[in-house]
Structure formats: structure tokens, C-alpha cells
Structure 1
Amino acid sequence: MSDTHYLHATEQWVDDVVIHHNFCPFAKFVRHPNKIKYVVETGDAGNIVNALYNECKHLDETPEVATTLVIVVSDATQSFDDYLDVLALGEQLLADWGYSGTYQLASFHPDYVFAGEAPDSPSNYTNRSPYPLFHLIRESDIEKYMKNEEDAEKIYQHNIARAESLGCQHFANQLEKLKQN
């Protein structure tokens, strides 16, 4: 498949899942107008973290871009365990590069499972995407939209309730449709 397919599927996922179900209440503010940069990375773990570094630099230099989604199409992240290894490396390197407090790395994967949750729990679909991806978010934007921990808890509770009300099959069908388009 071409990069265009992965880019389009991810844009549609942002619209049809993240924004439509209000999983991230401030996503709509960066999606319309489009302030999201999408990048496809096909390399190994080293290439992935290099892409994350390059995108941090790009965000440093381009304030009109609010956030970056690095879509990973690589054997390095196909299994969720391998993905978590790359995520841990990316988070450590963000700190090593001096980006703690500047950028946050959010994680999404087709097989995402929250710690302590059953693999078939609907709540996992709040972080399931058609393809593995890493989301670089400006900490200042998070602070702007979430004034306190209570706001974060409300979002979390809303997401769980929404996922449970629609069920696994609903989200599995949505993700499959996005992968086939």
C-alpha cells in the first residue's frame, strides 16, 4: 500500500473515531483548520525514533503545526509488545533530547490493551488506530485545554462509557473499514 493510503486512513480515523466519538475533545480544534502533520515511517526502531526527533524539531520551528502523528508501517511495531518497546525508547529519548515538559508522546495501536484490562475490553478501542502510530502533542496545548486533573478524569470516564456503549464490534468494524479504503 502507498503512503497515501496510510495518511488517508489515519485522517479518516481522526475524523470518524477520535472527533466523532469525542475521545479527544480538543482534536477538532487542530483538525479544522488542519494543524496536524502526518508522517509515514517504514523503517526499524532506529528510524522511528529518528523520525520522532525530526518531528520534535519541526514542531519547534513551525508553531502553526499543533501536533504530529507518526504512522508506523514497519515490522518493528506490528506486535503490540514490540510497539511498547519502541514507545518506551521514544519516551526516554524525548527526555534525553530535553523535550520533557515540551512534548508528550501519546500511543495508538491496532491491538492496544491498557494495563490491567482484558484484551477484549471496549475501553481499549479509545487507543486503537488502524495502524501503529505515535502522537507528538505540545504540552502547552494540553495545559490550555485541560485546566486540572479533574478535566482529564472526565475525558477518561466519557471515553470508557462511550466505548462500552458502542461495543467492540462497532469499533472493530470501523477500523477494518478504514484499513480497506
Structure 2
Amino acid sequence: MPNPVTPSAAHAIAETRAWVDRAVIGLNLCPFAKAVQVKGQVRYVVCASAEPADLLSALIDELHALANVEPSETDTTLLIHPAALNDFLDFNDFLAVVDDTVEDLGYSGILQVASFHPQFQFADTHVNDVSNATNRAPYPTLHILREASIDRAVAAFPEPEAIFDANIDTLEQLGSDGWAALQAQCRKDAQDS
């Protein structure tokens, strides 16, 4: 289902940046995110088109761009697409195309793409389970990561496999009302920026 109003690129970036600061870093959902955010090594890009083909083209451009820039300049990219693939099942189906594209371009083992969506739902959960919020962003988003950066971060983090369970515990303690309040604060932060 399409968004009734597609935000400007600046607003989509501001709200996503607020989500990274308040949820991803603030709730420590990703213990590796703070360092790259503080150093300004996260690239935020918006694909304004509603067409999956245009999103794929933007993804290809961003894969090439990240592969060809020094990690000290840009370590990771968030490709935000507020108008494309708003239905989670369509988005989820598109992820197979994403994986094939990474492989076809020769970036397997070099880059990978993680996914975030406002309607994200893990298998065997109810749509309203707060645990789904670990992968819920303000807008559909493809997160392009460097494999080498992931490997370094995981090597420096004791028991990286415990992160998922810790995130579920954090969100269950926060609860649905707390998650809704956090989302509202991200929207407010974006309005104020």
C-alpha cells in the first residue's frame, strides 16, 4: 500500500537519521552503529521513485559507490525508498533480487544488504509483536554494509550471537507504547530539523 504522502528526501533522511540515533543506537539494537554514525561514515540516500526497477538501479549505483570509496569516508549506506515497496510482502520478495544483484555484480563476500521496513514481520510472529521492531525503520530501507567492517565489529564484540536476543528483551521491556512514543519522537525530530 503506497504512502498517502511521500516525504521529501530531506525529511526521509532526517527521520531515518533520528531512528538511527534513538532506536538503533539509543536502544543499542546494533552495538556497531554508534562509531560510524559519530564519525559521519553513514551515507543516507533517498530513491524517490515508486518503481522497483528505479530502486534496483539506485541500489546498483550505491553498491558501486560504496565498493569504490574508502571506509574512512563512507563505511555503510542506507538507501531509503519511501515510495517504493511499501507493502512488506512485495519488499520481502524484492530482497531475492537484491541478493542476486549483489552476487551478479561480484560483491558477494565484499558487500551485503540488510533490510528494514515499517511493516517488518519475522516468520512465526504476529504483526503487532514488538519484537518485529528490531527491523522496523520509518521507511523501507536497504542497508548496504561492508563484510570486512562486519567481521571487524563481530570480532571485537563478545558473543555477537547474543545481540538478537538482547534486542528482543530490550523491545519487550520498552513495549508497544514505548516503541510508538519513540517513533513519534523520531517524527518530531525530523520536523524540527
**Normalised by the size of structure 2, how large is the TM-score?**
0.88
**1:173 deviation in Å?**
2.7
- Give per-residue Cα distances to partners, 1:122-152, cap 9 Å, x unaligned: 1101111111100000010110011399733
1:51 to 47, 58, 72: 58
* Residue 91 in structure 1 maps to residue 107 in structure 2: no
Structure 1 runs (4+) greater than 6 angstroms displaced: none
**1:169 deviation in Å?**
1.9
Q: CA RMSD for the aligned pairs?
A: 1.7
Contact map agreement 1:125 1:168 (CA 8 A) in 2: no
Q: Distance in 2 between matches of 1:176 and 1:71?
A: 19
Q: Distance in 1 between matches of 2:157 and 2:22?
A: 27
Which amino acid is 2:12 matched to? Y
**1:179 deviation in Å?**
3.5
Aligned residue for 1:155? 163
Aligned residue for 2:33? 27
Aligned residue for 1:175? 183
Aligned length: 180
Question: Which aligned pairs between 1:80-119 and structure 2 lie closer than 5 A?
Answer: 80-119=88-127
Residue range with higher mean Cα deviation, 12-21 or 42-51: 42-51
Contact map agreement 2:22 2:186 (CA 8 A) in 1: no
* Residue 41 in structure 1 maps to residue 54 in structure 2: no
Q: SS of 2:160's equivalent?
A: helix
Question: Which aligned pairs between 1:118-137 and structure 2 lie closer than 5 A?
Answer: 118-137=126-145
Gaps of 5+ in 2: 1-6
Contact map agreement 1:23 1:126 (CA 8 A) in 2: yes
Aligned residue for 2:78? 69
Identity %: 37
Residue range with higher mean Cα deviation, 12-21 or 87-96: 87-96
Q: Distance in 1 between matches of 2:91 and 2:187?
A: 19
**1:33 deviation in Å?**
1.2
Q: Which has the higher helix share?
A: 1
**Normalised by the size of structure 1, how large is the TM-score?**
0.93
Q: Distance in 2 between matches of 1:18 and 1:110?
A: 14
Contact map agreement 1:129 1:175 (CA 8 A) in 2: no
Contact map agreement 1:37 1:68 (CA 8 A) in 2: yes
